[in-house]
Amino acid sequence: MKRVCIVGASGKLGRYMVRHALERGYEVVGVCRPQSVGKLDGYKERITIVPGATNDARVIERAVSDCDGVLTVLVPWGVEHYATATAQAVLDHAPPGARLIFSCGWHISRDGKDVYSWKLRLFVKVFGFLARAARVADLDDQVQACRRVFESGTRWTVVRGSDLEEGESQGLPVWSRHVGDPVLSSNLTRRVDFALFMVEALENDELIHEAPAIVGCMTPSARMGRRRKASPGTAP
Ligand SMILES: NC(=O)c1ccc[n+]([C@@H]2O[C@H](COP(=O)([O-])OP(=O)(O)OC[C@H]3O[C@@H](n4cnc5c(N)ncnc54)[C@H](OP(=O)(O)O)[C@@H]3O)[C@@H](O)[C@H]2O)c1
Read off the pLDDT of residues 22-59 as tens digits, 9 standing for 90 and up: 999 999 999 999 999 999 999 999 999 999 999 999 99
Question: For residue 1, how far is its CA from the centre of ligand 1 (angstroms)?
Answer: 26
CA–CA separation, 20 vs 5, rounded Å? Answer: 13
Helix axes 118-133, 139-151, angle to 10 degrees: 110
Q: Which carries the bigger pLDDT value, residue 229 or residue 205?
A: 205
- Say whether pLDDT at 230 is over 90: no
For the CA of 142, the closest atom of ligand 1 is 47
**Which range (72-86, 159-173, 191-205, 213-227) has the least confidence?**
72-86
What is the dotted CATH code of the domain comprising 3-230? 3.40.50.720
Eight-state DSSP code of residue 152: S
Question: For residue 75, how far is its CA from the centre of ligand 1 (angstroms)?
Answer: 5
Q: How far apart are the first and last CA of the chain?
A: 42
Helix axes 57-64, 82-93, angle to 10 degrees: 40
The three-state DSSP-derived secondary structure of 21-63 is HHHCCCEEEEEECHHHHHHHHHHCCCCEEEECCCCCHHHHHHH
Our CA dihedral for 221, 223, 226, 232, rounded to 10 degrees, sits at -70
For the CA of 194, the closest atom of ligand 1 is 10
User: What pLDDT, on the 0 to 100 scale, is given for residue 132?
Assistant: 87
Q: What are the pocket residues of ligand 1 if the criterion is a CB atom closer than 6 Å to any ligand atom?
A: 8, 10-14, 32-33, 36, 39, 73-75, 77-78, 82, 103-105, 161, 163-164, 191
Sequence spans of domains, the chain: 3-230
User: What pLDDT, on the 0 to 100 scale, is given for residue 213?
Assistant: 98
